[in-house]
Amino acid sequence: MDVPVGRANEVAEKTARVRSLLPRFGLKGVLLRRANNIAWFTGGRRTYVGLTTDVGVASILITANRVFLLTNRIEDPRLTDEESLRQAGFEFIVTDWYGSNPSPVAIAGGAVGADVAYADTVNIANAITPLRYSLVPDEVERYRWLGHTAATIIQSVAQSLTPGMTEDSIAGLLGGALFSQGIVPSVLLVASDERVYRYRHPLPTDKKLERYAMLVIGARRWGLHVSCTRLVYFGALPAELRAKAQATGRIDATFIAHTRPGVPIADIFRRGQQAYADAGYPDEWQLHHQGGACGYDGRDYRATPTSQDTVAHNQAFAWNPSIAGSKSEDTVLITDDGFEVLSYAPGWPTWSYDVNGLTVERPAILELSA
């Protein structure tokens, strides 16, 4: 796997973005403690231990002319040997695991902003998060690998299903396949039969699959998140379900086709609402969030009718419209030239929609022999 991680030009670009906050807020330094922000800043390196932790085992302090990495003696060897952070030029400040944390304010020599609430610092998380929105070329390469691999996995598992499998066992197949590729599952949802219709966020259970299954994954590597949903039906697909799923696909295509750099999120959301109404489901959007921007979080923000954000250049989105019993979801990259489906792998049936002058392919329900 030849995927660029932590190259000097990427870290330099991230450093410049963070340093732009110093004069804006009158700071001497910016402290990054959230694991996702550190993955972003370092070009995909891992400074977490707990898979679900927000704050990792290292912090990064950026000043006007230096970049420090603060950690303890437990983590120093791995961050040096395997994450190559010393070699990348980060100045390590290492303490005993049982000792006091060094003061970032003392190190920086003045006021420090941070991405979390932290002693003696100013919380500027809302200013730090948007720095991640526009992806640089190396991030796009990593995202393409992650999206393609995650889509390959969920489709392979979906194609291997047989009636009688439990939702828990299906989740186990998904999780094992993701971990085998160095991908951490951040979301694993599986529903079968009536649970697809009843629950929008179906945690897997010991229920056995009869005819219909929904598989949903959130997949993370290098700090980047991919979201993807696939649906499988055994036997002849009922006409009502097909119509619902095709309508959901058109709504998803509408969101995607209208997501362009510089476009207000509220405008895109209104297009989606109209697509729901045109499909005969004017209130269905209220029963589940519709997705939004993503990258170093499963959703950097969820779109709403009153969103104040606009689409950035080279920003990732995962829209996830649903009508009870159906859902459509992939992760896409939005560029000046259009959109690219990142969570794409060949071999899955699609439905085609012409929206806003674009042809948008969305995943269909895979029909398998009963």
pLDDT value of residue 1: 75
- For the cut 80, the answer to whether the pLDDT of residue 295 exceeds it is yes
- For the cut 80, the answer to whether the pLDDT of residue 127 exceeds it is yes
Report DSSP letters for 130-195, one per residue: GGGSS--HHHHHHHHHHHHHHHHHHHHHHHT--TT-BHHHHHHHHHHHHHHTT-EEEEEEEEETHH
pLDDT value of residue 185: 98
So where are the chain's domains? 8-132, 137-368
CATH number for the segment(s) 137-368: 3.90.230.10
Q: pLDDT tens, 206-229? A: 999 999 999 999 999 999 999 999
List, in order, residues 6 or more apart from 334 with CB less than 8 Å away: 259, 260, 261, 311, 313, 314, 315, 316, 317
Q: pLDDT tens, 41-99? A: 999 999 999 998 899 999 999 999 999 999 999 999 999 999 999 999 999 999 999 99
List the helix and strand counts (H, then E) for the chain: 11, 19
Q: pLDDT tens, 176-190? A: 999 999 999 999 999
Per-residue tokens: 133? 């929105």
DSSP label at 100? P
Render the burial of 67-104: b for 16+ CB within 10 Å, e for the rest.
bbbbbeeebbebbbeebebeebebeeebeeeeeeeeeb
Query: What's the average model confidence in pLDDT over 122-139?
Result: 98
Any idea which fold 8-132 has? Creatine Amidinohydrolase; Chain A, domain 1 (3.40.350)
Strands 301-302 and 291-294: antiparallel
pLDDT value of residue 191: 98
Query: What's the average model confidence in pLDDT over 353-362?
Result: 96
Q: In whole angstroms, how far apart are CA 123 and each of 33, 103, 206, 255? A: 11, 15, 43, 33
The rounded mean pLDDT for the chain is 97
Task: Give the integer Cα–Cα distance in Å for 239 and 334.
Answer: 34
Query: What's the average model confidence in pLDDT over 202-207?
Result: 98
Report DSSP letters for 215-271, one per residue: EEEEEEETTEEEEEEEEEEESSPPHHHHHHHHHHHHHHHHHHHT--TT-BHHHHHHH
- For residue 158, the tally of other CB atoms under 10 A from its CB is 20
Position 370 confidence tier, pLDDT thresholds 50, 70, 90:
confident
Of all residues in the chain, what percent carry a pLDDT higher than 70? 100
Query: What's the average model confidence in pLDDT over 125-131?
Result: 98
List, in order, residues 6 or more apart from 266 with CB less than 8 Å away: 303, 304, 305, 306, 307, 308
Q: pLDDT tens, 237-284? A: 999 999 999 999 999 999 999 999 999 999 999 999 999 999 999 999
